[in-house]
Copies of this chain bind each other. A is one copy, B any other.
Amino acid sequence: MTTIELALVPKYSVHIGYGLLETIKLEHQNIAVFADMALQGVADALCRVLEPAGRVRLFLLPSGEATKQMSIYADSLSWLSSEGFGRDGAILALGGGATSDLAGFVAATFLRGLPFYIVPTTLLAIVDASVGGKTAINLPEGKNLVGAFHQPSGVWASLELLSTLPGREFRSGAAELFKHGLLARPELCAKVLEPGFGPHTADLEEILARAVEVKAELVVRDSQDRGVRTVLNFGHTLAHALEGLTAYEMPHGEAVAYGMHYAALLSELAGFANLTAWTRAFLDYQQPMRLPKFPWEQLERFIKRDKKADSRGVRYVLLEDLARPCVQYVPNHLQHLAWERLCGDGAESS
Contact = CB atoms under 8 A, between A and B. Distances in A.
Interface of A: 29-30, 55, 70, 74, 77-78, 81-82, 84, 86-88, 105, 108-113, 134, 136, 139-142, 145-149, 224-225, 304-312
Contacts of A306: 86
A262 B134 CA distance: 42
A312 B89 CA distance: 12
Given A29-B311, A70-B74, A140-B78, A84 B149 contact: no
Given A309-B86, A310-B88, A147 B78 contact: no
A210 to B, nearest CB: 27
Query: How many identical chains are in the complex?
Result: 2
B70 A311 contact: no
B141 A87 contact: no
Contacts of A305: 81, 84, 86
25 contacts: A29-B310, A55-B311, A70-B70, A70-B74, A78-B139, A78-B140, A81-B139, A81-B142, A81-B145, A84-B304, A84-B305, A86-B306, A86-B311, A88-B311, A105-B109, A111-B145, A111-B146, A112-B136, A112-B147, A112-B148, A112-B149, A112-B307, A113-B148, A113-B149, A113-B224
A327 to B, nearest CB: 13
Contacts of A109: 105, 109, 146-148
Contacts of A84: 304-305
A331 B308 CA distance: 52
B108 A148 contact: yes
Contact of A146 (B77, B145, B304, B309): B77
Interface centre among A142, A147, A225, A308 (most CB of B within 10 A): A147
B145 A77 contact: yes
Interface centre among A82, A105, A111 (most CB of B within 10 A): A111
Contacts of A81: 139, 141-142, 145, 305
Interface centre among A82, A88, A306, A311 (most CB of B within 10 A): A311
Given A81-B142, A112-B225, 14 more contacts: A30-B311, A55-B311, A77-B145, A81-B305, A86-B306, A86-B309, A87-B307, A108-B148, A110-B146, A111-B307, A112-B149, A112-B307, A113-B148, A113-B149
A173 B13 CA distance: 46
A26 to B, nearest CB: 15
